Structure 1
Amino acid sequence: MFNASGCLFGLAYGDSLGKPTEFLRYAEIEQRYGPGGPRQLEGYPALVTDDTQMTLAVAAALSGERQPAPAHLAEALRRHFLSWAASPDNNRAPGNTCLQACAELSRGGPWQQASVTGSKGCGANMRVAPVGLVPWYDLDTLAGVSQLQAGLTHGHPTALAASELTAYAVRVLREGAALHEVSGLLRARCHDQRLVYRLDWLGSLWQQPGLDGPDEFISRGWDECLAALDLLDAALAAPDYGGDPCRLTGAGWVAEEAMSTALLCAVRYAQDPVGGLARAAATSGDSDSIACLTGAFLGAAYGMAAWPEEWTSQIEYADLLAGYARLWN
């Protein structure tokens, strides 16, 4: 299916809609935009945040090799992350974990030593969608690449697991899964991968104080993602009374909550993708990251038909988004 464009542009659209609401209280967003949230891009171009910028960095690293070797891809990711960190356009409230890790990556040592191992922030998976779009990756490669790109900055096991699940969700939606089926597919993936540590991709990352082995390290991440999916399923089983989605599935500052809250908005608005972006942007939490993932999921499912045609030329980085989409369409 040819939905890479819809996914990447949807991600950027959600990011742009969530940019002005990220640090507002829900009541303030509702007062400014109404209870449905913002439905129109602002500005020419409509600016995005570090979420889209880092997604493009991941896309650039992936475009270099058809079948990436872990060491080569790690260096490509390092190079593109450092280019982002040094860019004058990196002025969109970038995450502290990404900045801290990039400062360490710039020293040239092993990336495992640069990673912020205590962080499971959503910076790990708000940028992972391109991994789910590469059609020739098998599931083992998708898993390894997803976790590697997360691990360079966010070394917590939940950041790794949530990144793999986010990319896997993009993959299955692009291949034709219905949005309401995704939670069950992710839950099955959690159980299947619970004790799988990707040694070839992650190397010594698991070697942290208090851990006896890689299984103990990685299982914690999958268990926390399962808990987030439990909240998602409970929210979807209940009537939708409106209001802030973060009340049900978390504020999205951490990776598993960003994934689950974005999926909540995507499933609830499967028939109104722009409404899904608006609802995701109208949150008390990390609105731009939640909305960018919502856009990635809806765009992977429905392609460019999900989005207003005039937005294509309005969004910042449109040429880069289109160029990477062509590689994987």
Structure 2
Amino acid sequence: MSIDHGVPAPTLKSRIHGALLGGALGDALGYTVEFDSIDEIRQRFGAQGLTGFDGLSSPLHFSDDTQLTLYTVDGLVEALEWANSGVGADVNACLWLAYLRWLATQGEHTGPAAPVPQPRWIDGNEVLRQRRHPDKDCITGLATGEMGTSVRPVNPGAKGAGTVMRSAPFGLIPHITPDAVYKLSADAAALTHGHPAAHQSAGIFSLLIHKLVSGEALRDAAAAVAAHAAALPRVAPELPERLEAALRLAEKAVVGPEELVQVLGAGWMAEEALAVALYAVLATLPADGADARPARHFREAVALAVNHSGGSDTAGSMAGNILGALYGEDCLPGQWLQALEAPEVIRGMAGQLVRVTTGEG
């Protein structure tokens, strides 16, 4: 099986490492300019904006997007460890406990009714205890001490990007059905965000990652998840609208950051962040028959995802997740990896997910 342009398909191990490291790279680049307007980005970095790590102080920090993505991995790993030992576990409860441990790293506390989770390896890594502008709704939703569900949500109106930014790992689990991927992701989103667009955007993003890990070509997978979103029961209409807009905009190739925000939104909302990331990876995809250079595609897509007046870290992180799942580690620019903080922590969590899903060391 091959991916776009005849590039041999990477192993699952490579895709898992690629998706998690790629997300951290995109997050770190975007976090550098997260709260800057496009005019401010151009003033700092020139007319082309921020296109790489050159000239930036190392190590480059990632944001709460990567922190929560790794805690999602940890929750899934714990559930799979129980399953591998023959004990059924409530996956969403494992994820909730993982997120509560992340909440504690941010200096926040829950009410007395919330359980006290047992520490795990991930909690001992100081880099994950840094407060990196954590998503407000993730904080408030977890701080209630109540385990939110889709039928009894916490933060009922919350539809920010704090759900999609952490949802790539659901798509990295092999041997489960697409429907299961979507449900696991959407259910986990309800732990902190109550709006249907937040749940559905997270589920669709995880489904996209799942399709890429399964070997589908990027354009085919993008079209399929857009169609899936449009057919969801009780779909929040803004989700399929943004996805269709992203597909249409990508046909024009690269547009300016002003048009990007005008058409797709600034990326602060869940469906907007998904649309911006999807547009960025599609608009920079080499044309059929062109030379496929995964690292070049990665650099161009992530730069496009972060250079706008909006949620640069989340769009960059999700674009990196997508391309890492598509190409595996081959797409990760070596110089960027050298400049990233704590890659060993990300590889450590990727290795745990590989171990519980494949048995590899």
TM-score, length-scaled by structure 1: 0.85
2:267 to 246, 252, 273: 252
Shift of 1:177: 2.2
Q: Do 2:212 and 2:326's aligned partners in 1 also have CA atoms closer than 8 Å?
A: yes
1:182 to 221, 233, 236: 221
Q: Residue in 2 aligned with 1:16?
A: 28
Q: Residue in 2 aligned with 1:225?
A: 239
Shift of 1:51: 0.3
Structure 1 window deviating more from structure 2 (72-81 vs 157-166): it is 72-81
Q: Residue in 2 aligned with 1:99?
A: 139
- The alpha-carbon distance between structure 1 residues 188 and 250, as it changes in their structure 2 partners (threshold 3 A), is same
- Given residue 40 of structure 1, which amino acid in structure 2 is its aligned partner? F
Give me the whole-angstrom Cα distance separating, in 1, the residues matched to 2:345 and 2:77.
12
- Matching of residues 135-284 of structure 1 within 5 Å: 135-192=174-231, 194-195=232-233, 219-221=234-236, 223-244=237-258, 245-271=260-286, 272-284=297-309
Shift of 1:314: 3.5
2:170 to 118, 131, 134: 131
> Identity over aligned residues, as a percent?
30
Equivalent position SS for 2:79: coil
Q: Residue in 1 aligned with 2:343?
A: 318
- The alpha-carbon distance between structure 1 residues 142 and 273, as it changes in their structure 2 partners (threshold 3 A), is same
- The alpha-carbon distance between structure 1 residues 239 and 138, as it changes in their structure 2 partners (threshold 3 A), is closer
2:44 to 32, 40, 64: 32
Shift of 1:129: 0.4
Q: Do 2:53 and 2:339's aligned partners in 1 also have CA atoms closer than 8 Å?
A: no
- Given residue 16 of structure 1, which amino acid in structure 2 is its aligned partner? A
1:6-50 Cα offsets, whole Å, 9 max, x none, are 111110000000112111110111222231523117443321100
1:59 to 49, 66, 73: 73
Give me the whole-angstrom Cα distance separating, in 1, the residues matched to 2:333 and 2:43.
25
TM-score, length-scaled by structure 2: 0.77
Give me the whole-angstrom Cα distance separating, in 2, the residues matched to 1:220 and 1:307.
35
Give me the whole-angstrom Cα distance separating, in 2, the residues matched to 1:168 and 1:239.
24
Give me the whole-angstrom Cα distance separating, in 2, the residues matched to 1:269 and 1:70.
43
Q: Residue in 2 aligned with 1:115?
A: 154
Q: Do 1:102 and 1:114's aligned partners in 2 also have CA atoms closer than 8 Å?
A: no
Equivalent position SS for 1:266: helix
Shift of 1:78: 2.0
Task: Please say if 1:78 is aligned against 2:96.
Answer: yes
1:243-273 Cα offsets, whole Å, 9 max, x none, are 3432331111111110011011111223421
Task: Please say if 1:298 is aligned against 2:339.
Answer: no
Matched residues, number:
301
- The alpha-carbon distance between structure 1 residues 161 and 262, as it changes in their structure 2 partners (threshold 3 A), is same
- Given residue 267 of structure 1, which amino acid in structure 2 is its aligned partner? L
Any unmatched runs of 5+ in structure 1?
A: 196-218
- Given residue 13 of structure 1, which amino acid in structure 2 is its aligned partner? L
Any unmatched runs of 5+ in structure 2?
A: 1-10, 107-128, 287-296
Shift of 1:275: 1.5
Q: Do 2:72 and 2:169's aligned partners in 1 also have CA atoms closer than 8 Å?
A: yes
Give me the whole-angstrom Cα distance separating, in 2, the residues matched to 1:84 and 1:103.
11
Shift of 1:313: 4.5
Give me the whole-angstrom Cα distance separating, in 1, the residues matched to 2:88 and 2:137.
22
